[in-house]
Amino acid sequence: MKDPNLPRLKEIVVEALQLDDVSVADLADDEPLMGSKIGLDSIDALELVVQVEKEFGMKIKSSEAAREALQSIESLARYIRENSPDAGK
C-alpha cells in the first residue's frame, strides 16, 4: 500500500529546497535524497527536518535518526509513519 504522506513529502522537498528545475512528478518514491538530482547537503537536510517536523508535528530526535530517515523520500515517509504522535493508534 502506498504511503499517503508521499505526495506531500515530495511537495515539501521541492518547496523547502527551492528545486526550481525539479517537479513533484519527477521524484520517485525511492528517490535518494543525497547524491541524486536533489543533491541534499547538510544545510538542506536541516531545513528539510525542520519543515517535516513542523508539518507532521513530530521530532526527529538525533542525527542518526535523521540520517536514516533522509535516505529517500520513502524512508522519510516510513519514519514519519512510525514516529508520528498518532503512531500505534
pLDDT of residue 87: 60
Q: What is the pLDDT of residues 21-77, one digit of tens each?
A: 888 998 999 988 887 778 788 899 999 999 999 999 999 989 899 999 999 999 999
pLDDT of residue 41: 86
Residue holding cell 528539510?
A: 48
Counted residue by residue, the chain has a size of 89
Residue 47, domain member (yes or no)? yes
Count the helix, strand and coil residues of the chain and give each as a percent rounded to the nearest 5.
Answer: 55, 0, 45
Residue type at 63 in one-letter notation: S
Residues 6+ apart with CB under 8 A from 34: 40, 70, 71
What domain range includes position 29?
A: 6-83
pLDDT of residue 34: 83
DSSP secondary structure string for all residues of 54-75 = HHHT----SHHHHHHHTTBHHH
CATH for 32 = 1.10.1200.10
pTM exceeds cut of 0.95: no
Residue 89, domain member (yes or no)? no
In the chain, the number of structural domains is: 1
Residue 88, domain member (yes or no)? no
